[in-house]
Structure 1
């Protein structure tokens, strides 16, 4: 039997990376919730409907998520992680600024998961959801700060580093609102591209990026 460097067999390593039945059920519940939110609102959605969509019993669904609110939180967090991952992966991009890549990631993920982010924005007015949404936004802003700091080491930014956080905080919340307004209505590809250009122009100017031709 072949062994890995740590002494475990290859088959053992494969078994450990395989998703458990519980993991698969939790994944199915998240997928079902995301699909239902394409067709209905949070108010209309029930745990029974989610369980049915996921192919498990209602009682089993409650084993993984104590309430509909917890399930919606988890779906929003999962969608937001796509943005985090994209920003982290592009922070050291050399073909463009890290800030540009962060903006691209935001717009691209609104295109793919806008129905989930729409829910996050709309529910953020409720106390039980607001803390979750604000925390997710704050982490995204932290990652954007890291991207700008990396751009600064490349000599691309001349603005005051002490102002980076405040500037990015305002830009991020402005981006959230403008993305929400665009992706919750019928729109064209040209409008998406114009939004991307507008956010990029405003952000780069505000943070003091060096203009390039």
Structure 2
């Protein structure tokens, strides 16, 4: 988090050298960091632009140079958390020879880990889909892309005779499964139960997912 102007130029390392980080880049990141920190102290709806600028150590006009509203900040934080997850899993496609059980663990086990790491952002993001058009559009874009890839993978696996999905409408099955998983993660990260309860949640979601895909061996 940026607490105020730095007396020395900000920089980071690239191949052993130092790179001067533009002031604008520092301020923009400070806004994102400040907002995420505030999410640990109060609900997103209660956070004001004034709260964010004070947390970031910048003046109010500077905020509007980078973002139109606080929900724009939340939308970017959600997108960054999602992008970090996608980079971790590597691909939405099932890898050659990858068992469906392992496929689920790679996709949604690592997704859950991303929710744990960014739980305040993800919980606030789901909540904001109910009242902010831009956050809802961003979330819908991300989930739609995921569903499309999963539906295509289900189609390939079904055509190859590897699975027997509960319905020929692969898109509908995938959408409902994704909705279920998001809500399960949302509830888990909102309540933050004991680790054993979270493990039970993941195990049950996995069983439902594998059963819906029609995987022969769901062990």
What's the CA shift string for 1:19-70, capped at 9, x where partnerless? 5332232122111111111111222212222122122222112111122221
User: Hey, what does 1:204 align to over in structure 2?
Assistant: 210
Task: Report how far residue 165 of structure 1 moved.
Answer: 2.5
Give the structure-1-normalised TM-score: 0.78
Report if the CA contact (8 A) 1:84-1:140 is conserved: no
Q: How does 1:26-65 map to 2 (within 5 A)?
A: 26-65=28-67
Seen in structure 2, the aligned counterparts of structure 1 residues 147 and 105 have a Cα distance that, compared at 3 Å, is: farther
**Corresponding position: 1:68 with 2:70:** yes
Pick from 138, 141, 164 the counterpart of residue 135 of structure 1.
141
- 1:69, 1:187 → 2: CA distance? 28
- 1:120, 1:60 → 2: CA distance? 24
User: Hey, what does 2:193 align to over in structure 1?
Assistant: 187
Seen in structure 2, the aligned counterparts of structure 1 residues 41 and 159 have a Cα distance that, compared at 3 Å, is: same
User: Hey, what does 1:102 align to over in structure 2?
Assistant: 107
- 1:102, 1:40 → 2: CA distance? 30
**Corresponding position: 1:123 with 2:128:** yes
Task: Report how far residue 207 of structure 1 moved.
Answer: 0.7
Structure 1: gaps spanning 5 or more residues:
1-11
Report if the CA contact (8 A) 1:157-1:207 is conserved: no
Give the structure-2-normalised TM-score: 0.76
Q: Which moved more, 1:188-197 or 1:131-140?
A: 131-140
What's the CA shift string for 1:165-187, capped at 9, x where partnerless? 22211111011111111211141
What's the CA shift string for 1:113-166, capped at 9, x where partnerless? 12111111212112524223222222232344466578x39x783225954322
Report if the CA contact (8 A) 2:74-2:121 is conserved: no
Structure 1 or 2: larger helix share?
A: 1
- 2:182, 2:140 → 1: CA distance? 11
Seen in structure 2, the aligned counterparts of structure 1 residues 56 and 122 have a Cα distance that, compared at 3 Å, is: same
- 2:24, 2:76 → 1: CA distance? 15
Seen in structure 2, the aligned counterparts of structure 1 residues 33 and 143 have a Cα distance that, compared at 3 Å, is: farther
- 1:182, 1:13 → 2: CA distance? 41
Task: Report how far residue 14 of structure 1 moved.
Answer: 8.6
Pick from 113, 137, 157 the counterpart of residue 162 of structure 2.
157
Task: Report how far residue 188 of structure 1 moved.
Answer: 0.7
- Corresponding residue pairs, total: 201
- 1:30, 1:156 → 2: CA distance? 47
Q: CA RMSD in A?
A: 3.2
- 2:40, 2:65 → 1: CA distance? 24
Task: Report how far residue 72 of structure 1 moved.
Answer: 1.8
Structure 2: gaps spanning 5 or more residues:
1-13
What's the CA shift string for 1:171-210, capped at 9, x where partnerless? 1101111111121114111111111111111111111223
